[in-house]
Structure 1
Amino acid sequence: MSLTINEIAQKAGVSIGTVDRVIHNRGRVSKQSIEKIQAIIDEYGYQPNPIARQLKTKKDFVIGVLLPELGTEQSYWKSVFEGMKRAAEEFKLFSIKLNLVEYKRHNSKAFVEKANELSREKIDALITAPIVAPEIFDILPLYEKVPYVFVDSPLEHDRQITTVAQDPYQGGYCAGRIMELLVPDAKKIFSVQMYDKAPNLHERSRGFAEYFNNAKVVKNITYTAKEFGTQKKFIEAILKQKPDGIFVTNEGSSEIADYCRTKNVKKNFALIGYDLMKKNVKALKEGNIDCLISQSPQDQGYLAVKKIYQKCLINEKIEREIFIPINIYFKENI
């Protein structure tokens, strides 16, 4: 186990200043003291005091944050960033600063441009959500010398510090189990994706379908502006097929609930969605959504910053993957 300067000084019977001079090779120290201190370091190792080092340098530790526009998707990304700010405040002794760059979620070109923009700034670490595929693989080489953490969506890549996300496959599989409980004799169920490029949404759909053993009862349908024109027409196309159940893989379940409410469409199907955002919670309480799965966006943001702090500032070993619990809500326990 490595020792701090104070512990080395105690073992060697010398002052902390003497140990510091030996470690940094400055100032006059007797040969006997040098040999004694070096022998202790060789045996136990030396662990720098990160707090003292950070305070001494008075240097900000800047974390670049590359996320979709915070106000989009019912402010889901704002919740992620709020968690990051909470962690930065908790570890303010280390002068952690967040440099936020936002991009338009459905504009791959904008994502690449913003990633390039952030890479030209001086940052010490990066947090991003690997949801723009395959462009995410194009921008990662820009951060070859910068440690980074993924949030929201796991991605198989050999260089990230860690991933903080819910297991999307297991989330979808869990939704399948709930759907079977809500509609045990279903003949037609839809797994609905609002975004066609997000790998985590594909994994949720896959998990959902595989719960039913890929039976023909489950149909995956994805919204694309080119095919449906508007989200309203997309919802109309789904409802025309008279489903027994709908699983929405992102925060958009309230869009279907609101359509039924405003159009006076009788909701005779089970509706399961994702994320405890304001509109979703309202629809859940009113009974227009039957169940919501939460992936705790604030906790994801908090843990992403905390793991960078642990790895980069106090040299702790951290987990390769951190999976957020699959929290399930009905109107009775919201």
Structure 2
Amino acid sequence: MKKAKKTTIQDLADYANVSIGTVDRVIHKRGKVSPTKQKKVEEAIKHLNFNPNLLARTLALGQQFLICSLLPKASNPNSYWNLPKQGVEEGVRDYRDYGFVCNPFEYDLFDESSFIENAEAVIKMNPNGVILAPLFEKESINFIQILEAKNIPYVFIDGMVPDQNNLSYIGPDLKGSGHLAGKLMSTILDSSDDILVLNFVKGLENSHINTIEKGFREFFGSSQETRTGKINTLTIPSVKEEDITRELTKYYIKNSGTKGVFVTNSRAHIIAKYHAMYELSIKVIGFDMLQANILEMKCGNIDYLISQRPISQGSMAIKTLFEFFVHQKSPLKIQHTPLDIIIKENIDYYINFNESREVDQTNT
């Protein structure tokens, strides 16, 4: 006779459609849980015939799992890179009762040496697992080789290095996001209009951003054979206002036919402000709902934002490592996050949605 499978805390979470942390709070009667979720968990416990006393024997509660994250440093409080960091912190809070702790390390997005320095610091910690945004490809590969030699599993978020032994990649379909941006751009420009692909990054060949640009160009190559307008690329390895103003001014003097700009990261607000300052009527598409991007969109200076759900990327990375270590569950190699199309008319909905999500998580 086949032995019945024991119900786990993960089974309860899946049935109730809540986080494992929420289930834990209900079982141990600690922390705040909304009445709705309390009821869902209690119904799951009853329906699945779960015995809370088995929890201590089925999970390694006394063991500590040290996770190190290596992500770009946020340039300001409203920077994109605060968002995946926030997601990692939320994930750790969900699983801290099971021994999960995280030591965050950050590198300068315009300085490869800072990546190398912080990668070395991570290795010295000898963590159980690593969450990595591998935006410097060559340096990331060197780091990965050391992790693999030490049998330390690692999860990519936001960007990925192909053909590696990462436990999982969590983030957008990079080429797909570029393809989506191309499709959006084609709806607001004529086929004769010139387009600028603008990168604010150091070392384009050493970054996942070239994959995004490839998707953008492939859309026009496959779907717009009759297109006569040019698609140019400008890479500015700086976010300093004087550097940007100088490079953009030089570019626009030589390329006055530019009617659309695709910014390949979350810094669309930078060029949107430039256009507004010089009264240039140029369409702009970029990524992510940063406060600065939201403001420029509401002012009519950004036409589309593509949200990559960076907070979810961070929390999903922690969840993936938890399930791997505690439940010995191998994750999907690729876990794509949805791409949300944000326009001026629906941006308030997404703002309210994200705010309610944060309140809900605070009360779980």
Whole-Å separation in 1 of the counterparts to 2:313 and 2:284:
25
Amino acid at match of 1:64: C
TM-score using structure 2 length = 0.73
Cα distance in structure 1, aligned partners of 2:6 and 2:323: 20
CA distance 1:290–1:5, change in 2 (3 Å) = closer
Other-structure match for 1:279:
292
Structure 2 contact 67–127 (Cα < 8 Å) conserved: yes
> How big is the shift at 1:236?
1.7
Per-residue CA deviation, residues 187-206 of structure 1 (Å, 9 max, x unaligned), is 21111111133532111111
Counterpart of 1:161 (choices 167, 173, 178) is 167
Q: Which residue of 1 aligns with 2:106?
A: 102
**2:332 matched to 1:319?**
yes
- Is contact 2:110-2:237 (8 Å) kept? no
Aligned to 2:200: 194
Change (3 A) 1:305 1:50: farther
Q: Which has the larger Rg? A: 1
- TM-score, structure 1 normalization: 0.80
CA contact (8 A) 1:186 1:245 kept: no
Letter in 1 for 2:65: F
Q: Specify the alignment match of 1:183 in structure 2.
A: 189
- In the alignment, which of 140, 148, 152 is matched to residue 146 of structure 1? 152
1:48-67 matches, cutoff 5 A: 52=57, 54-55=59-60, 58-67=62-71
1:91 counterpart SS class: helix
What's the secondary structure of 1:244's corresponding residue? strand
Partner residue of 2:138? 134
Task: Give the alignment partner of residue 262 of structure 2, picking from 247, 256, 259.
Answer: 247
Query: 1:73, 1:251 within 8 Å by CA — same for their partners in 2?
Result: no
How far apart, CA to CA, are the structure 2 residues paired with 1:165 and 1:305?
13
Q: CA RMSD in A?
A: 2.5
Change in CA separation of 1:314 and 1:328 when aligned onto 2, cut-off 3 Å: same
Is the alpha carbon distance of 1:2 and 1:329 closer, same or farther for their aligned partners in structure 2, counting shifts above 3 Å?
Answer: farther
Q: Which amino acid aligns with 1:222?
A: T
Give me the whole-angstrom Cα distance separating, in 1, the residues matched to 2:232 and 2:128: 44
1:296 paired with 2:319, answer: no
| CA distance, structure 2, for counterparts of residue 183 and residue 212 of structure 1 | 12
Structure 2 distance, partners of 1:286, 1:271, is 12
Counterpart of 2:11 in structure 1 is none
Paired positions, count: 288
1:205 corresponds in structure 2 to: 213
Give 1:230 shift. Answer: 1.2
Q: Which position in structure 2 is the counterpart of 1:256?
A: 271
Matched, 1:91 2:99: no
SS of equivalent residue, structure 1 residue 276: coil
Name 1:81's counterpart in structure 2: 85
Residues 62 and 98 in structure 1, CA contact (< 8 A), matched pair in contact too: yes
Structure 2 unaligned regions, length at least 5: 8-53, 348-364
SS in 2 for 1:231: helix
C-alpha deviation, 1:70, in angstroms:
3.0
Check whether the contact 1:126–1:149 (CA below 8 A) recurs between aligned residues.
yes
Once the two structures are superposed, residues 61-82 of structure 1 have per-residue CA deviations (whole angstroms, 9 ceiling, x without a partner) of: 1111111113459421111011
CA apart distance, 1:83: 0.6
Distance 1:199 1:51, change over 3 A: farther
The reply to whether residue 68 of structure 1 matches residue 93 of structure 2 is no
Query: 3-state SS of the aligned residue for 1:97?
Result: strand
Q: Secondary structure at the match of 2:211?
A: helix
C-alpha deviation, 1:2, in angstroms: 7.8
Change (3 A) 1:220 1:2: farther
Flag structure 1 segments of 5+ consecutive residues without an equivalent: 7-48
SS in structure 1 of the partner of residue 274 of structure 2: helix
The alpha-carbon distance between structure 1 residues 317 and 189, as it changes in their structure 2 partners (threshold 3 A), is same
Measure how far apart 1:155 and its partner are: 2.1
Question: Would the alpha carbon gap of residues 208 and 293 (structure 1) be closer, same or farther in structure 2, given more than 3 Å must change?
Answer: same
Cα gap change, 1:186 to 1:326, in 2 (>3 Å): farther
Aligned-partner SS, 1:134 = helix
